[in-house]
Amino acid sequence: MLCLGIETSCDDTSLALVEDSVLLGQESVSQAGMHALFGGVVPELASREHVRFIGPLCDRLLRRACVAAGDIDLVCPARGPGLLGSLLVGISFAKAFALGSGARFLGVNHLHAHIFAAGLERELPLPALALLVSGGHSMLYRAEAPDNFALLGKSIDDAAGEAFDKAGKMLGLPYPAGSAMDALAEEGCASPRLFPRPYSDNESLDFSFSGLKTAMWLYISEHPECRVSFDAASGEAVIPQGEKRAAMADVCASYRLAVVDSLCVKVERAIERGGAAGARSLILAGGVAANSLLQRRMGDIADRAGLPLCVPSLKLCADNGAMIAYLGVLLAGAGYVHNLDMEAVPRGKPIPDDMIRVSTPPG
């Protein structure tokens, strides 16, 4: 089954072709540089950029993979959660493509797609306990099958990636700051008591990061030397050297430790409570899955639980069309489709269980 996957839920325009479980090609444009000028994603600009890029990316993808529109069996856009205007660009494009080419149409849950992304690179033993951490979401799921997820916990305020991005902004780092903070943290020495572990001392499996952000704000107010300098000519952030750099690295290391502790305590609690009973793997997914300390700590948890840890490679951690296409293939293989009146689901709204089951899978 040949599937065109389309990801436009936030600030990445990414289209991919997946045949069964093989990634044939992917074409992506990240808008991060443009949104960095504003310190975060500007929804209206994001939609306009998707409109600008989606057609040319699709042409290039098909040309490079030597695939004609009529060869495609299935078209899958991310249907949500995400920015409404951005989702609508990808969904409208996918509907028009399906109408024109005769391919089947199926909208895919962006969060579930993140969790199955590693399946493009390795076997993904199910059921799995899955931690999904990105710029917009922090969720803990038990994944039974491509169409069967139980939500065990979620962030009650900011997402883990947002906690990095906002703290990075306070330090003067460009958006998105997660990877730069991670790199600096690798050089630094973490003080376990510098920042709190919000919402840990309770029975819940939910996460909270807004208090941590406030703690960072208070710390930087008292230690302005931890902030980056700016080049007078270009106005660009310059990470300092010497003692100042060491101070900044220590703050990043302490902050990263607090975020990772806050995530791992809930994963361990879920395992203690039987959330991993009968599970055959532990999955770490989403942009923050690239965090080196989080990968090490989740590796330790997986070892103790006797489970393999499945983490997608960097290009499949961030938002991408391949993960959308791959989950689409799995769901369509189980006989699911959507009608062309399927609607986009913005962030904060539940995704309806409105897939239709047909008797013959496409392809």
For residues 134 and 291, which CB has a smaller minimum distance to Zn ion in the complex?
134
- Closest separation between CB of residue 41 and ligand KG4, Å? 9
For residues 165 and 261, which CB has a smaller minimum distance to ligand KG4 in the complex?
165
Query: Binds 165, which of ligand KG4, Zn ion, none (CB < 5 to 8 A, cut-off by type)?
Result: ligand KG4
- With CB atoms as reference, the residue minimizing the distance to ligand KG4 is 287
For residues 40 and 308, which CB has a smaller minimum distance to ligand KG4 in the complex?
40
Query: Binds 288, which of ligand KG4, Zn ion, none (CB < 5 to 8 A, cut-off by type)?
Result: ligand KG4
Query: Binds 318, which of ligand KG4, Zn ion, none (CB < 5 to 8 A, cut-off by type)?
Result: ligand KG4
For residues 13 and 254, which CB has a smaller minimum distance to Zn ion in the complex?
13
For residues 161 and 321, which CB has a smaller minimum distance to ligand KG4 in the complex?
161
For residue 167, count other CB atoms closer than 10 A to its CB: 28
Identify the three-state secondary structure at position 116.
helix
Number of H helices, E strands in the chain: 11, 15
Rounded to whole angstroms, the Cα distance separating 210 from 196 reads 11
- Closest separation between CB of residue 147 and ligand KG4, Å? 21
For residues 23 and 177, which CB has a smaller minimum distance to ligand KG4 in the complex?
177
- Closest separation between CB of residue 70 and ligand KG4, Å? 32
- Closest separation between CB of residue 10 and ligand KG4, Å? 5
Single-letter amino acid, residue 22: V
Identify the CA nearest to 74 among candidates 344, 352, 360, 350: 360
Contact residues for ligand KG4, defined by CB under 6 A: 10, 134-136, 161, 164-165, 176-179, 182, 286-288, 290-291, 318-319
- Closest separation between CB of residue 87 and ligand KG4, Å? 12
For residues 69 and 215, which CB has a smaller minimum distance to ligand KG4 in the complex?
215
- Closest separation between CB of residue 258 and ligand KG4, Å? 13
For residues 180 and 355, which CB has a smaller minimum distance to ligand KG4 in the complex?
180
Query: Binds 91, which of Zn ion, ligand KG4, none (CB < 5 to 8 A, cut-off by type)?
Result: none
C-beta of residue 181 within 8 angstroms of C-beta of residue 56: no
Here the tokens at position 38 are: 């504003």
Rounded to whole angstroms, the Cα distance separating 226 from 219 reads 9
Contact residues for Zn ion, defined by CB under 5 A: 134, 319
Q: Which residue has the tokens 């006989």?
A: 335
Here the tokens at position 68 are: 């004609």
Buried b (16+ CB within 10 A) or exposed e, 23-40: bbbbbbbebeeebbeeee
- Closest separation between CB of residue 201 and ligand KG4, Å? 24
Rounded to whole angstroms, the Cα distance separating 183 from 258 reads 16
- Closest separation between CB of residue 121 and Zn ion, Å? 17
C-beta of residue 328 within 8 angstroms of C-beta of residue 73: no
Rounded to whole angstroms, the Cα distance separating 306 from 5 reads 34
Identify the CA nearest to 44 among candidates 78, 83, 92: 83
Strand-pair partners of 130: 141, 283
Query: Binds 135, which of ligand KG4, Zn ion, none (CB < 5 to 8 A, cut-off by type)?
Result: ligand KG4
C-beta of residue 190 within 8 angstroms of C-beta of residue 254: yes
Query: Binds 328, which of ligand KG4, Zn ion, none (CB < 5 to 8 A, cut-off by type)?
Result: none
